[in-house]
Amino acid sequence: MQKLLGIVVLGLLYCNILFASDEKPGRFFEDQPDVNNDYQIHFIYTLAADSKDREWDINGKIEKITDKMNKLHEKLSKKVKGSTGGKKYKYDYRKDGKLDITFIRLDLKRNQMHEHFNNNYKGYLWFNKFNNPKKVYFTFADVKSQDGGEGGVGMASIFLGSKWNKQEANTVRTALHELHHTQGGGFNCVPGMGDNAHWKSPDGQNTVQGQIFLKKAYVHDEVGCPKGEDSVYLTPTSKDPYDPFKLLCLGDWGKYNHPKLVKARKKQRSDLKNDKWNYRSGGSSCKFTYWDRSKSGEIKLFTNKKAKENYYHSK
């Protein structure tokens, strides 16, 4: 018993020393006050309990990559046939004009978490109040993963320890790919898009435009189907914007009644009712939800209790 208590005490001391060492000039541990009430992409630099701090939030690395992301998106979106012009993502800035980046050190080691990092991490974000429905929380996670990135509506992560992100150009493209998933895409009603929110064709991502969804996913003529360029998170703001959180997290699809979307939603409700897991409702899934399997059989928004369960027990 005494030996066990000693191990616990040493563990707590280690954590306290580690968290104290994370306090560095220019670092912020909370989302800073917003300069406006518009939709925004909020960036985060996250470490597991045993991750090395490479200071991407304070050494300019994240600013450099996010700047290249927006420049590439603006350049290529301008070239999409039928687009209204080049657009950038709306980023979250501090009052001093600098990019607002939050630092997070998790209390779980990487091997205590699911191989797919976001399976735990999305719960952590929610119960720590990173859950503003008018924000997308995009994380540069300094952890190893078999994936380059992963995301859906509400949040996404790019994994800096992945072999797919050794080159900066790959990191930029992967980040833009995941940002498109936070916008709800690729919607299955887009010509050439599969039911898994990616292109059907195996060569659909062989170009930069394909990888970051700047083809038909961005502009198309399908009635009742969302167009990427109409997302509220892009500027200049569309004359007829859509909010991905309302569509995928709240199920408020409004005018988006394309037959493929309607069919996917009906299939999802039927499967869930019959105790069969189905997260596909026509686009990327909402990350801040859980399957209320034992009661309603529906997919619901997190509560703090469910989010904590998700973080500590998804392994």
3-class secondary-structure state, position 251: coil
Has residue 19 got a pLDDT over 80? no
More confident of the two residues 288 and 206: 288
Contacts of 81 (CB under 8 A, 6+ apart): 219
Q: Quick one: which of 164, 170, 169, 176 has its CA closest to 138?
A: 176
Has residue 202 got a pLDDT over 90? no
Predicted pLDDT of residue 201: 80
Predicted pLDDT of residue 204: 80
- Given a contact cutoff of 8 angstroms between Cβ atoms, the answer to whether 235 and 90 are in contact is yes
Has residue 191 got a pLDDT over 50? yes
Contacts of 128 (CB under 8 A, 6+ apart): 104
Has residue 3 got a pLDDT over 90? no
**Burial group, residue 225, by CB count within 10 angstroms (0-12, 13-18, 19+):** buried
Q: Quick one: which of 212, 50, 30 has its CA closest to 142?
A: 50
Query: What's the N-to-C CA distance of the chain in angstroms?
Result: 28
The confidence band for 233, taking pLDDT boundaries of 50, 70 and 90, is very high
Has residue 15 got a pLDDT over 70? no
> Distance between CA atoms of 212 and 197, rounded to whole angstroms?
12
- Tell me the mean pLDDT in the region 77-93: 97
Has residue 187 got a pLDDT over 80? yes
Contacts of 145 (CB under 8 A, 6+ apart): 115, 116, 117, 159, 161, 162
Chain position carrying tokens 């191989």: 115
> Distance between CA atoms of 237 and 257, rounded to whole angstroms?
22
Q: What is the number of other CB atoms lying within 10 angstroms of the CB of residue 152?
A: 25
> Distance between CA atoms of 15 and 84, rounded to whole angstroms?
51
More confident of the two residues 297 and 73: 73
Has residue 206 got a pLDDT over 90? no
Task: Name the most confidently modeled range: 153-157, 202-206, 309-313.
Answer: 153-157
Strands 40-47 and 135-141: parallel
Has residue 101 got a pLDDT over 70? yes
More confident of the two residues 174 and 2: 174
- Burial pattern 168-204, b for ≥16 Cβ within 10 A else e, equals eebbbbbbbbbbbbbbbbbbbbbeebeeebbbeeeeb
Predicted pLDDT of residue 6: 47
Omega cis (within 30) before 236: yes
Q: Which two tokens stand for residue 304?
A: 């703090």
Tell me what the pLDDT averaged over the chain comes to. 93
More confident of the two residues 71 and 20: 71
Residues 160-179 pLDDT 10s: 999 999 999 999 999 999 99
Predicted pLDDT of residue 294: 82
Give the orientation angle of helix 304-313 with respect to helix 118-127, to 10 degrees.
150
Give the orientation angle of helix 61-77 with respect to helix 168-182, to 10 degrees.
70
Has residue 127 got a pLDDT over 50? yes
- Helix ranges (DSSP H) in the chain: 2-21, 61-77, 118-127, 168-182, 208-211, 244, 259-273, 304-313
Task: Please give the full DSSP string across 79-146, using - where no structure is assigned.
Answer: TSTT--S--EE-B-B-TTSSB-EEEEE-SS-GGGS-SSTHHHHHHHHHHTT---TTEEEEEEE-S--S
